[in-house]
Structure 1
């Protein structure tokens, strides 16, 4: 048996066959796959393949040492980076003493309970605390399951999008992070809220707007002109509403776009009610324009004014309350200022970074109580992001890569495969050939050249480590091939402090205590996780599994890409050191989302080590 078990990627997927299961069953399978992958990764069980003549048709064994159990099943795909694919049924240890005909499969709830029991018992400290954490995590699993089921039901009824345009791709992230136990958990939205505002339902909605006295505004912009009342990012609808509803003595008030759900939440706060009563703040209500919620839920696309707004939402999505607090605003502008200083030199048609143009929020006087100040700054904050070229037009649409990895209900392959075919058709001018299969290894070779080399060169020469996970990354195709790589959301980047100091950025572009500055070790750690573990391993698994191939040739391509980059690097340079590290280090860091969620450590996540699939043994 080879290191990587490869089985027909379509076998065992009942939803691809006649009599597809319900969205409820599909949601349970998708959720359980994520929980199993996270559990195996975080307990060091990187290869769960199992064979025993006494247990025919069993190829998966997951050991739960704290409760003395083994969960058995079938393994449809053994992934080098942990993106395993499982058969339909899981069984408890009792099958060791049973005839195959007598086996009873575990329900979703039973399988999850076993895994969480094992985690709870394995944790040090109070058993009461562990039980409370387990119950809370179970509730979040149920929350995520219910949302995912509803999204899949909507997608099943709606059918695949007629056109795989920018909006459709942004709103197709139905199942989410492949290593998160609660990828679609959403606390704060009611069912009606979710139907109105969640991108998975393909919605649009009008923005709300407030107007505040200038002395109550905090803002910072790369271009000071964007802070003016006639800035291009301010919708005409909001200007018109201000003209109609603001009395002459308040005509100088500054406009604050706001998510409509957040506007309702803010109106409920006593501090906001006081500001409204005093006239420091004016509620302009629902002004428009209509915007499109993207895969991150709170970032919306304004097609009319061609920009994105990263808005605050006081709801918990997966691990975090999604508001832009003061430190995050500072991080964002510091990161964007640094990127802006090198963008002209590094930007090209093939590699692009979208800038955050600036932010605006409500900023109470310094004398205000700290908790009130933070509540208002976080609650009203919004960030304006530039848009890539050709959004909403074809060809050359930039697709969010996380959505390209999704397989929609009733479909046999990820959206990426459809996007490649449609791009190929656009290039040739003919009909879309639904049977067309490119040479996926050649395709990935171009993808690796497009992404790996510029990411590492950028870091080695500038110290900028991009948080290029699949939801922060976008891909353009030309004639079916990778043509342009775009990274967005600069709040999460990290900058090597030593290189920042060498380039004169510290004390000029950013302050010495800027939260965007990290040690070289920390910045490199984040680069390894976000791009190589989160991003590249996901692309490799999807290409290999759904084209019926082993993952190993794709990882060999990644290794050869690194080796060519090493040959081009100057001897003794940081680039050479980073590439050699990636080629020889035995492990790579992976975020432990299951344990982090269990311990409620969203802001300070735990990490584990996984085998490095790019390692070249010399």
Structure 2
């Protein structure tokens, strides 16, 4: 990052650079098995004959280390402050990555640094309060704390970056297309309360605020996607034929949530999950037809009582429903329709939405102050951190484990997909999971699920049980449940070992209920309590292999490494 003559980096630039250096070093030390202890850290890079040095101001068994004074020392003895993009390049050389993937990640890391600088620089700007739910969605200024390019946006800048970014309070009207009815596929759950008595196509017209011409239906699109899609040859051909018409922006202004492509309006009963071809972290975010159908399958399974045991055992935990979808297809002479990237999943707005906040927004660091979670816990008195973590495990994590034990359904419940329900003082009062993509099904449960659904196959991601166990170990434990532990310890509100002991105690207390929920139902929790090492996703390695996790095969979706079990008794 260059600066005018005689000027140095701004405070926002400094915060952004430090955040990215920390994220890269957290990834590298985890993925290569380097032990991190308080004091000085040296990482030798033999291929480039360079040493990376840093001061470890906070070492965490959850992986949320804090580094400062990150420097590059050359073989000749020269020492310069580290640059995040250059650090990524040096580390990539050590694992002999493909040059094209290295160049891409280096570029995206630099872009992420620029974006975070913008987000941090604007964070003090006055904004109209929109409620606790949206506040948490807009709170991820630094992004994923274990990813080298958490806020790259595929080249978005200027007005587009400001309009489409939740971190900047962005808002926009959805763009609409009118299509011949025979080009559009749709489905919905009959009687879903959030649809307010409308079918999916009627709902689209109501949200657009216009009546389509006879024989046509309306399909919404994120404005970036709308501009991109019309340049695609298949969509351009439909436009040229008159079978598809671009209507432009209509209806209410929507607010992007932390995923960017799911949009929310506080006065409407539904959110819209739109396809978005931007690469965000590792993947382009365009919906597959399986993903759209999966949301409805989950709805129907829940309505049929498939998760009834979990609901009875954990009534304060819920699955956010996706009760409808609409998609524009391209007709083909042979085979089924081709996808166009113009589609939408309809998501319900849970009752009392402003009692919910995504976990990622709660634990997100705030430059110069406590996290939102830390701020709430600090106001609750002695031992509040231990109480918060204990209640969180009981009300959020254990219900997810119970659902897996009882039904075989594993939730890809990372921090952004995990909603925490809190009371006015910030104490945990329940939880929820949102997504129509991240549903695994352990293959040993498939026959039982099909008996309930009455179908011949399932749209869920059916995977062998051990692979689901590994995925849930990362998503439910490393990424999600240990995030409050790392956050509260980083904020100085409790000793991390004490909080890890709380997690162990609550998991141990849950074992009888999990064992009763299904065959070998306590298997995963027992593994977490007893194993010396556990599998964990490696974000640098995954990114340098060029894996798009949305479309990659399920058994090769990401790179995983074994790391020391943070719950192991020390």
Alignment match of 1:386 (pick from 342, 345, 348) = 348
Contact 1:310 1:382 in 2 (8 A): yes
**Residue of 484, 495, 513 corresponding to 2:430:** 484
Indicate the structure (1 or 2) with the bigger Cα radius of gyration. 1
1:114 and 1:196 map into 2 onto residues whose CA distance is 31
Q: Secondary structure at the match of 1:208?
A: strand
CA contact (8 A) 1:23 1:149 kept: yes
Q: CA deviation at 1:366?
A: 4.2
Identify unmatched segments of 5+ residues in structure 1.
1-18, 51-57, 98-102, 124-128, 425-435
Classify the secondary structure of the residue corresponding to 2:412: coil
Distance 1:547 1:163 in 2: 29
TM-score by length of structure 1 reads 0.81
Q: Distance in 1 between matches of 2:236 and 2:502?
A: 59
* SS of equivalent to 1:31: helix
Separation in structure 1 between the aligned mates of residue 544 and residue 272 of structure 2, nearest angstrom: 31
Residue of structure 1 in register with 2:359 after alignment: 401
Structure 2 match to 1:171: 138
| Residue correspondence of structure 1 range 127-138 to structure 2 within 5 A | 130-138=98-106
Q: Is the 8 A contact 1:60 1:72 kept in 2?
A: yes
In the aligned structure 2, how far is the partner of 1:549 from the partner of 1:166?
A: 26
Query: Does the CA-based 8 Å contact 2:142-2:364 persist in structure 1?
Result: yes
For the pair 1:300 / 2:263, whether they are aligned, the reply is: yes
TM superposition shift of 1:274? 2.9
1:447 aligns to 2:392 (yes or no): yes
Q: What's the CA shift string for 1:97-139, capped at 9, x where partnerless?
A: 7xxxxx8442325xx535532432433xxxxx73333222111
Q: Residue deviations 1:472-527, cap 9 Å, x none?
A: 01112124311111110131110112223134448x45543645222211222121
| Deviation sequence 1:16-60 (CA, Å, 0-9, x none) | xxx996101100011111111011111111x2227xxxxxxx522
Equivalence map 1:509-520=2 (5 Å) = 509-512=454-457, 514-520=459-465
Moved more, 63-72 or 258-267: 63-72
Q: Tell whether the 8 Å contact from 2:177 to 2:245 is kept in structure 1 after alignment.
A: yes
What is the CA–CA distance in structure 1 between the aligned matches of 2:451 and 2:278, rounded to whole Å? 35
Superposition pairs for residues 459-538 of structure 1, below 5 Å?
A: 459-478=404-423, 479-505=425-451, 508-512=453-457, 514-538=459-483
Q: CA RMSD in A?
A: 2.9
Checking the alignment, whether the CA contact within 8 Å between 2:320 and 2:434 is kept in structure 1 is yes
Distance 2:231 2:72 in 1: 49
Alignment match, 1:361:
327
Q: Output one character per residue of 1:348-367: Cα deviation in whole Å (capped at 9) or x when no partner.
A: 65211101112110123342
Q: Distance in 2 between matches of 1:380 and 1:309?
A: 12
- Name the counterpart of 2:57: 76
Q: Which residue in 1 is equivalent to 2:225?
A: 262
Aligned equivalents of 1:494, 1:230: Cα separation in 2 = 26
For residues 161-560 of structure 1, the aligned pairs below 5 Å read 165-223=132-190, 233-234=203-204, 236=206, 238=208, 240-242=209-211, 246=213, 251-341=214-304, 342=306, 345-347=309-311, 349-367=315-333, 373-376=337-340, 379-392=341-354, 397-409=355-367, 411-419=368-376, 439-478=384-423, 479-505=425-451, 508-512=453-457, 514-560=459-505
Q: How much does 1:270 deviate? A: 3.6
TM-score by length of 2: 0.88
Aligned residue number for residue 543 of structure 2 = 597
Tell me, yes or no, if the aligned pair for 2:377 and 2:426 is still in contact at 8 Å.
Answer: yes
- Which residue matches 2:511? 566
**2:9, 2:430 → 1: CA distance?**
36
Contact 2:256 2:263 in 1 (8 A): yes
Deviation at 1:146, TM superposition (A): 1.1
Residue from 106, 123, 126 that aligns with 2:81: 106
Q: Deviations over 1:556-580 (max 9, x none)?
A: 1111112112244548941233322
Equivalent position of 1:155 in the other structure:
123
How does 1:20-31 map onto structure 2 within 5 Å? 22-31=11-20
Could you tell me how far apart the structure 2 residues matched to 1:460 and 1:237 are?
A: 39
Would the alpha carbon gap of residues 540 and 600 (structure 1) be closer, same or farther in structure 2, given more than 3 Å must change?
A: same
Is 1:143 paired with 2:111? yes
Give SS of 2:81's match.
Answer: coil
